[in-house]
A and B are shown apart, each in its own frame.
Chain A
């Protein structure tokens, strides 16, 4: 058996594989002591070959002697396993967004990652949802039914929040602001994708890919089909598990 563990900024994910089949997958909050949480999750699969990825990967390398790969490689492996012909992957997690461009045979030819800034990440959406009083699901749903939108100019989480506040105070309906935030994020992500690669279709992974409104806005903006795996948040862990099988 092989296990992949992805220690992300918000959640820890594990995927256990046997002969290419997913036996088990789990997503839990990182909490205050992510390494303890991660070691406990690994303990559920005694004797498995394990590979770590994500922000906490170095800690797992030091504390549990695991092999590590970056999130970029992990998402490439995971996405390619589910969509064998994919050439472009967008992964949006808690604090990062990345675009990965693959060659026809699956090698990474180029990638982009956001700088040290929350723009276009899960954290950005989360902050905007909170300032509008939505939970994450409700935020996406509200955006889907809004009748219009107002451009959000700032993609800095701090400034965007004050922009949202001023829109609220101008009487703009919250669902319309929600849609505006989604549009701003979609256009930022689309620009990042276009800058990295020309693609026939895009595989969208990471927790933010659960947001259906964002997926559909991204499809419209990019003009190509956006494919979302069944559980997009575990694709990094899946990739790590696949790597454990290769190494």
Chain B
């Protein structure tokens, strides 16, 4: 099985997309190797992970062809970098929404030819993918829609606009009534920008359909996440992470169905007592900044040390799917109002105050049966880094083992991280 897995190549397609084919050709074999080592080497995986493995195998080919076909059929393709940009409205316009956040060390050198070194690795990685022409998704989008959640992002968009049309949605940093008004206006502007690509105005029915589709996707992920909370867990944290990463580039209706299929299998595994790790394996909740593809660094270290990740309180995690949009609207204004309300519940650390997030982490800690929290902060993400102070205090007050780590994509601190994670596991075991 593991020898059969190959991340596929299609130089002709890449050439057509204007990629640096010579350079990119090295990427699939590297990813093949990493995926075999990190994912396919796991014992006792659910059978229906096969679909998600296949999505990884087709990440640079099959899925790209699907997107190209849709685009040729006049569908808009929009790249985003944040769970605040409402994909419901893209789906409503018949379009495809792709998460373009970068999680690879390989593109950072490209970015650093232009951007300063001491900024967020996720922003650098994404920017590097575009300037190096080494990401087929970046090549295929009509436009990207950035936001103003952090300084590194909003200033990078000004530069990214030189390479790909880049729109920016202003996300307020507080959640008062006047901020909500601003936000709603921004949502309306986003809808106009999407509609402009298709030349048609998306109507009430279409928006309702977009909301239903994405609600269904989020609900499927909620179901999956609550199944994985079972102790002993029927699925590993690494597999959960890859599914949540695939959620950002797969076709939503098919993805939703496949997640439910997997959930059905997991339910049977739970009943039959089939698990990926013994009940005694320490259970860890990871909170904090997102892990974009192919960032599997922390999960590999944690699960390599014999513990299990049982929840991701993260944008590529529960922050993406914990809230749904009320589907009972009677007109479009109400739809956009309710959509905005749903998006305002997302508890990114860019907001102040943001104490709801602390409550949310504690809630997920309880729900997942975790025994400790590792707060994951990408280097130079000041807001999550500072918010870790409050999170630590909340954990200490409740006797919850807590560890904050700050890291980037480079492999050079893996030794230190291993020691810290193993010591944290020793601390949990007592």
Binding site for B on A (CB under 8 A): 55, 58, 69-73, 96, 107-111, 113-116
- A73 x B426 contact (CB < 8 A): yes
Partner of B419, one of A71, A108, A109: A71
Can you list 10 contacts pairing A with B, beta carbon distance less than 8 Å?
A: A55-B415, A72-B420, A73-B426, A108-B427, A113-B419, A114-B416, A115-B406, A115-B416, A116-B413, A116-B416
Chain B residues near A58 (CB-CB < 8 A): 418
A115 to B419, CA, bound (A): 11
Give B415's nearest chain A residue, CB to CB.
Answer: A55
Give B425's nearest chain A residue, CB to CB.
Answer: A70
Partner of B427, one of A96, A111, A114: A111
Partner of B412, one of A72, A109, A116: A116
Partner of A96, one of B407, B412, B416, B418: B416
A109 to B395, CA, bound (A): 12
Q: Does B430 contact A (CB under 8 A)?
A: yes
Q: Give per-residue flags for B396-418: 1 if the beta carbon is below 8 A from chain A beta carbons, else 0.
A: 00000010001100001101101
- A111 x B423 contact (CB < 8 A): yes
Min CB distance B386 to A, Å, is 14
Partner of A72, one of B407, B415, B426, B430: B426
- B423 x A108 contact (CB < 8 A): yes
Chain A residues near B419 (CB-CB < 8 A): 55, 70-72, 96, 113
Q: Known contacts being A70-B419, A72-B423, A115-B406, is A107 close to B430, with CB within 8 Å?
A: yes
- A113 x B416 contact (CB < 8 A): yes
- A113 x B412 contact (CB < 8 A): no
Q: Which 8 A-B pairs have the closest CB atoms?
A: A116-B413, A72-B423, A70-B423, A108-B427, A70-B422, A73-B426, A70-B419, A113-B420
Chain B residues near A109 (CB-CB < 8 A): 427
Binding site for A on B (CB under 8 A): 402, 406-407, 412-413, 415-416, 418-420, 422-423, 426-427, 430
Chain B residues near A115 (CB-CB < 8 A): 406-407, 413, 416
Give B379's nearest chain A residue, CB to CB.
Answer: A115
Min CB distance B427 to A, Å, is 5
Chain B residues near A96 (CB-CB < 8 A): 416, 419
A175 to B420, CA, bound (A): 36
- A73 x B423 contact (CB < 8 A): yes
A71 to B430, CA, bound (A): 15
Partner of B426, one of A70, A110, A114, A116: A70
Give B399's nearest chain A residue, CB to CB.
Answer: A109
Chain A residues near B423 (CB-CB < 8 A): 70-73, 108, 111
- A69 x B426 contact (CB < 8 A): yes
A109 to B430, CA, bound (A): 9
A58 to B421, CA, bound (A): 14
Partner of A108, one of B406, B416, B426: B426
A109 to B418, CA, bound (A): 18
A108 to B423, CA, bound (A): 9
Chain B residues near A107 (CB-CB < 8 A): 427, 430
A70 to B55, CA, bound (A): 38
Chain B residues near A73 (CB-CB < 8 A): 423, 426
Min CB distance B18 to A, Å, is 37
A201 to B412, CA, bound (A): 34
Min CB distance A159 to B, Å, is 13
Min CB distance B428 to A, Å, is 10
Chain B residues near A70 (CB-CB < 8 A): 419, 422-423, 426
Min CB distance B182 to A, Å, is 38
Min CB distance A118 to B, Å, is 12
A114 to B413, CA, bound (A): 11
Chain B residues near A55 (CB-CB < 8 A): 415, 419
Min CB distance B21 to A, Å, is 34
A198 to B407, CA, bound (A): 27
A70 to B420, CA, bound (A): 8
Give A114's nearest chain B residue, CB to CB.
Answer: B416
Give B418's nearest chain A residue, CB to CB.
Answer: A58
Give A54's nearest chain B residue, CB to CB.
Answer: B419
A113 to B418, CA, bound (A): 12
A192 to B416, CA, bound (A): 16
Other contacts beyond A70-B426, A109-B427: 17, CB < 8 A: A55-B419, A58-B418, A70-B419, A70-B422, A71-B419, A72-B420, A72-B423, A72-B426, A73-B426, A96-B416, A111-B420, A111-B427, A113-B419, A115-B406, A115-B416, A116-B412, A116-B416
A55 to B407, CA, bound (A): 19
A13 to B32, CA, bound (A): 40
Min CB distance B373 to A, Å, is 13
Chain B residues near A113 (CB-CB < 8 A): 416, 419-420
Chain B residues near A111 (CB-CB < 8 A): 420, 423, 427
A70 to B426, CA, bound (A): 8
Chain A residues near B426 (CB-CB < 8 A): 69-70, 72-73, 108
Chain A residues near B412 (CB-CB < 8 A): 116
Chain B residues near A72 (CB-CB < 8 A): 419-420, 423, 426
A109 to B401, CA, bound (A): 7
Chain A residues near B427 (CB-CB < 8 A): 107-109, 111
Give B426's nearest chain A residue, CB to CB.
Answer: A73
Give A69's nearest chain B residue, CB to CB.
Answer: B426
A71 to B426, CA, bound (A): 11
Min CB distance A121 to B, Å, is 11
A113 to B423, CA, bound (A): 11
A72 to B421, CA, bound (A): 11
Give A72's nearest chain B residue, CB to CB.
Answer: B423
Min CB distance A1 to B, Å, is 24
A82 to B416, CA, bound (A): 26
A123 to B412, CA, bound (A): 17
A71 to B402, CA, bound (A): 18
A69 to B416, CA, bound (A): 14
Min CB distance B310 to A, Å, is 22
